[in-house]
Structure 1
Amino acid sequence: MNDMIVSSLTPLTLVGGGEACMADLTEALTIAPTCVAADAGAMLALKAGVPIAALIGDFDSISETTLAQIPCDRQFRIDEQDTTDFDKALRNLDTPLVIGVGFCGGRLDHQLAVLHTLVRHAHRRCILLAESQIVLLAPPKLEVATMTDDVVSIFPLGPTQGRSDGLEWPINGLDLNPLSQIGTSNRAVGPARIEMDSPHAILMLPRRIIRQVAEALLHPDAAGWPPPE
């Protein structure tokens, strides 16, 4: 993928301009130590003293003062307005996993656009940090170290089916669809296993298991969604 802005054999942290603090960024960097910023996300990285490997976006939310602190050869301006800065960044990162900080919370329309991007670029493995949860596109198969009464939510952005073990209300046989059947506010009864038939379901899990989920997605045998043809 020579046309990618950043290529890395290890996970990357992507920081956006939404709700996030330095503790969130620090946690992400323990899993993905190289930082890429999407537009205004550069401000949090600079405040934390974290080197920015690349700044990607349309730069409409970042000041000239902030830009001056980032080497010009690390600035990648994409002027089109049809996609968000998160989309611009995610599609230009060649990495086994992205940990996203600053893309949850705040404006609801921004959060919906982020979820749209996860589905649109289903082959890009990405975990987003929220205040108490992690958010990701459900992969074809995932085993998670949930505990009894942990909240496990599955929200379809398109029609799909799946199977589960370890959930109080199994999803087996359900026709998940945003217009009819969703799977939010489910509960774990212990460790859970979730399988999905298509890349249309957003999965929300407890934030404390982010490292285990990251390791599962990075496992050599982990199945992912294919890139678009």
Structure 2
Amino acid sequence: MNEPIIVRAVDAITLVGGGDVGADDLEVALRHAPVLVAADGGAAPVVRAGLSPQAVLGDMDSLEAEIRDHIPADRFHPIADQHSTDFDKALRSVAAPFVLGVGFMGRRVDHQLANFNVLVRRAERRCVLIGAHDVVLAAPPEIALELAPGSRVSLFPLAPVEGTSRGLHWPIDGLKMAPGGVIGTSNRVAESHSGRVELTFFAPGMLIILPRAALGAVLAALKPDA
């Protein structure tokens, strides 16, 4: 069954969660994704930054009254579903060229793992999570990234996945990767290569983890016409 879309945006969406939000995270995200949406408790860092979200999505169990008072009532969209996280509720309820998520990494490991799970289950949403040191996304079937030679490229499977690569120091061709089995963390762009990395995956479920400085390269690769 198709999920109802609450926020449709021609521009990309910055989605804010209630986890760690760095001093410049919102500024960086909004530069690329100007439509601001909060997932439940993510409204707090938005308001404290002097901003107002266009919508607040989630079960609304993490919002303080003082935060609510700064946001017009018609921007709250409660989603009553105790079997999913607020990140899941929000991501499945928006439609945009891509989504940048801040406040979904750091603080609690269990929350971060749950958010990674949502990334791969909602991979059609083209969402990139921004952390203090990393950017994380669910791998599409094919992706080409223009990265600096020697730059870190980590691959972590959340399901059994095989694929191919060009431009990695350690190719993944022929590897049967799986959680609890072979993984691909701490790989890197081949120093002898131009910096272009091409990845193909035969099934969904792979996370790509890159340095935060690679955000621009990731967004260029994820553009609908890329």
Q: Same fold (TM over 0.5)?
A: yes
Pairwise mapping of residues 57-206 of structure 1 onto structure 2 (< 5 A)? 57-189=58-190, 190-206=195-211
Deviation at 1:106, TM superposition (A): 1.1
1:215 shift after superposition: 2.1
Contact persistence 1:21–1:44 (CA under 8 A): no
Gapped regions of structure 1 (runs ≥ 5): 223-229
How far apart are 1:188 and its partner, in Å? 1.0
Per-residue deviation, 1:29: 0.2
1:79 shift after superposition: 2.5
1:133, CA displacement in angstroms? 1.1
For the residues of structure 1 that align with 2:74 and 2:141, how far apart are their CA atoms?
38
Any idea what the Cα deviations from partners look like across 1:8-27, whole Å, max 9, x if unmatched? 12210000010112400100
Partners of 2:213 and 2:60 in 1: how far apart?
33
The whole-number CA distance in structure 2 between the counterparts of 1:19 and 1:132 is 12
Residue 123 of structure 1: SS of its match in structure 2? helix
Secondary structure, in 3 states, of the residue corresponding to 1:52? coil
- Tell me the secondary structure at the aligned position of residue 24 of structure 2: helix
State whether structure 2 residue 222 is matched by structure 1 residue 217: yes
Correspondence 1:3-18 to 2 at 5 A: 3-18=4-19
Amino acid at match of 1:169: W
Distance in 1, Cα, partners of 2:23 & 2:87: 19
Residue identity opposite 2:135 in structure 1: I
Distance 1:16 1:2 in 2: 20
Cα drift, residue 149 of structure 1? 2.1
1:38 aligns with 2:43: no
* RMSD of aligned Cα (Å): 1.4
Corresponding residue SS for 1:167: coil
| More divergent stretch after superposition (24-33 vs 71-80) | 71-80
Partner of 1:226: none
Q: Which residue of 1 is the match for residue 57 of structure 2?
A: 56
- TM-score, with length taken from structure 1: 0.92
Give deviations 1:132-187, integer Å, cap 9, x for gaps.
11000011111112222211110011011111111111001111111211111111
Identity, % of aligned positions:
44
Partner Cα distance (2:13, 2:51) in 1: 13
Q: TM-score, normalised by structure 2?
A: 0.93
Q: Determine if contact 1:146/1:192 at 8 Å carries over to the other structure.
A: yes
Shift in CA distance, 120/219, structure 1 to aligned 2, threshold 3 Å:
closer
User: Does the CA contact (< 8 Å) of 1:22 and 1:44 recur in 2?
Assistant: no
Structure 2: gaps of 5 or more residues? none
